[in-house]
Amino acid sequence: MSRFDFAQGKVGNSWFLSAMSALTFQKNLMEQVVPMDQSFEDYAGIFHFRFWRFGKWVDVVIDDYLPTINKQFLSVYSKCGNEFWAPLLEKAYAKVCGSYADMRGGSSSDAFKDFTGGVYHCHNFAMDNAPSHEELWLTLNRATKCKSLICCVSWPEADKLANTGLLVGRYYSVTGITEVKLNDSKVRLVRVMNPCGTRGWSGKWSDKSDMWDKVEPEVRKMCFDRDDGEFWMEFEDFCSHFLKVTICSETPNFLDGDFKCQWKCMIYDGSWVAGISAGGKWNDPTFATNPQYRIQVSVIDKEEPGDKNVLVSLLQKPLQEHRRQMKIEDVLILIFKTPQGRLGSDFFKPNSFVEAPTHYRDFIEVIELYSLEPGEYVIVPFTCKPNITADFVLTVYTKADAKIRPCQ
């Protein structure tokens, strides 16, 4: 099985292909999604793949037919003509989404979640509160050490990418970072891969750039040992020409760099029911009817004040089978420090939450990272509007053992 040597079909899903490309660089994750127990002995014309769907791993079985239009592949296809794991994986994921048409337009974070069941982080350069370039570099450094999946998407405006060689609004995978010595300073470089072509960056540190003549021969040799479609960019150019970077790992370790920590994970299925447990936002009179989950935090890292020790994920479970028809609600998570027992409206009115959310998010998943002192807390997932009936999966990661239970 090669890393990635495929061409995009007619589906228009570079977000998924870049995620597949990133997956090939992590063998353990790859074998989790593409089981290696499939061979042509006793071949029955079927294949199976595994995806993490709403809190559990599911097997998706498909036949071996690949769609064509006028004798051309609709799906991704191998450039060498004799490798089929990628189009078969794409077909299995199309089945999960509802159809190939449902794969048009999307985000690599969706595929990352289904490939790993893990935690992802999106760095959007267009947001006013976007982290600094220095913070992103540190995050990328931690992410590569954690063997994370990393993708990026270029700006959708053509004028931002003029004469750069980059494609407009296209997803790429990030395959590495490094620092090289240039005269008396160090230059930060990012290795990027176009999963479906050889066209790449044409600026500084590109294949034909004279910048490579200014570094040691062994450094130049190391950097040119790469796959087709890969190219290097200076980190600042990377930050200027890409709109968003998405990083995903099985655990939250890449977020704080505590590689020795074994995060504990607990998953709960829940629902909002109109008129019963769909109380709306915190200043609605029915807010207290929302689902509540009590968590007892007993240990923190005393050597690192403000250490992030709890991560909460709220994943919506849309009722629609087809991805493009899914109705996504505006949702948020709030955490309150609490006394014992279920909390009523008399508690929420005068009490403030642990951290104020910035805005509602109409994403299928909302992720919040907290620094919680020892004590009792309650987690309240809620929708912006009251009386919305919907299902969700609440996942809580903690650095230390914690007691979590739904409040009745």
User: Percent of the chain, pLDDT > 90?
Assistant: 58
- Is 51 in contact with 19 (CB distance < 8 Å)? no
82, 129, 163, 194: the active-site residue:
194
What is the predicted pLDDT for the residue at 48? 95
- Sheet with 310-317, edge to edge strand ranges: 264-272, 390-398, 310-317, 365-370
Distances, alpha carbon 1 to alpha carbons 32, 36, 83, 325, in Å: 14, 10, 8, 34
Q: Which amino acid does the sequence have at 265? A: C
Whether the per-residue pLDDT at 303 is higher than 60: the answer is no
Establish whether 194 is a catalytic residue. Answer: yes
pLDDT 10s digits, 76-125: 877 776 788 899 999 999 999 999 989 888 899 999 999 999 999 999 99
What is the predicted pLDDT for the residue at 306? 66
What is the predicted pLDDT for the residue at 77? 77
Q: Name the 3-class secondary structure at 99.
A: coil
Pick the most confident of 5-9, 77-81, 254-258: 254-258
For the chain, the average pLDDT equals 88
Beta-bridge partners for 82: none
What is the predicted pLDDT for the residue at 145? 92
**Number of Cβ within a 10 Å radius of residue 218:** 8
pLDDT 10s digits, 154-175: 999 888 888 899 999 999 999 9
Distance CA 111, CA 97 (A): 11
Does residue 307 or residue 203 have the better pLDDT? 203
pLDDT band at 204 (very low <50, low <70, confident <90, very high): very high
Whether the per-residue pLDDT at 350 is higher than 60: the answer is no
Does residue 390 or residue 303 have the better pLDDT? 390
Whether the per-residue pLDDT at 222 is higher than 70: the answer is yes
Distance CA 30, CA 326 (A): 27
Set out the domains of the chain in order of their start, with CATH numbers: 6-117 (no CATH), 121-249 (3.90.70.10), 262-406 (2.60.120.380)
Q: Which amino acid does the sequence have at 393? A: V
Least Cα distance to 264 among 231, 296, 232, 309 occurs for 309
pLDDT band at 199 (very low <50, low <70, confident <90, very high): confident
Whether the per-residue pLDDT at 364 is higher than 60: the answer is yes
pLDDT 10s digits, 40-77: 677 888 999 999 999 999 999 999 999 888 888 888 87
What is the predicted pLDDT for the residue at 198? 66
Distance CA 283, CA 302 (A): 35
Across the range 21-36, mean pLDDT stands at 93
pLDDT band at 176 (very low <50, low <70, confident <90, very high): very high
- Is 340 in contact with 292 (CB distance < 8 Å)? no
